Amino acid sequence: MSVYDFTVMDNKGDTVPLTDFSGKVLLIVNTATECGFTPQYEGLQRLYETYHDKGFEILDFPCNQFGRQAPGTDSEIEKFCCSKFHTSFPRFAKIEVNGAHVSPLYVYLKSQQKGVLTPNIKWNFTKFLVDRNGNVIARFAPTDKPESLVKDIERLLGTA
């Protein structure tokens, strides 16, 4: 099993098989627009601009489970991210990453890379790094800034 076995919903309501991203290095992030970590969108966009042409994708999954910090609709979140942070990476429909209605993708991600003390996602901007074969390689805490992932991303892209 790999992340490519999952289908998700984009922020326009269309289903997207993650096989669409086969062969790419992925950074999967649960995000929020009103979080103390929201400025990480700037760093995520810099990573995307630097490595996208080398086979890197960021998959953004807004989540309102932590302090209700992603209160808008999918289209409002898209507008906010594009206008305030000029993001151009794929954004998906709002999901749940813990609890009874957890996204199957996140059940899988958490099973592959457990957090400290518990597999649950503790807050917004938890990041999962996935290799070109769809294997979950690493999990990063919300406090890990996007720029701190450069060496890991370059290693997986073969550019290190």
* CB 85, CB 41: distance < 8 Å: yes
What pLDDT, on the 0 to 100 scale, is given for residue 129?
97
3-state secondary structure of 85: helix
What pLDDT, on the 0 to 100 scale, is given for residue 92?
96
* CB 70, CB 33: distance < 8 Å: yes
- Sketch out the chain's domains with CATH numbers: 3-157 (3.40.30.10)
* CB 61, CB 92: distance < 8 Å: yes
Q: What is the mean pLDDT of each run of 10 residues along the chain (160 residues)?
A: 96 96 97 89 97 98 89 90 94 95 96 81 95 96 96 90
pTM (predicted TM-score) = 0.95
3-state secondary structure of 52: helix
What pLDDT, on the 0 to 100 scale, is given for residue 27?
98
What pLDDT, on the 0 to 100 scale, is given for residue 160?
59
3-state secondary structure of 23: coil
What pLDDT, on the 0 to 100 scale, is given for residue 118?
75
What pLDDT, on the 0 to 100 scale, is given for residue 115?
75
Does residue 35 have an active-site annotation? yes
| 15-17 and 127-130 strand pairing | unpaired
What pLDDT, on the 0 to 100 scale, is given for residue 91?
95
Find the catalytic residue in 35, 63, 81, 82.
35
Residue type, 75: S
**b/e map 102-141, b = 16+ CB within 10 Å:** bbebbebbbebbeeeeebebebbbbbbbbbbebebbbbbe
What pLDDT, on the 0 to 100 scale, is given for residue 34?
82
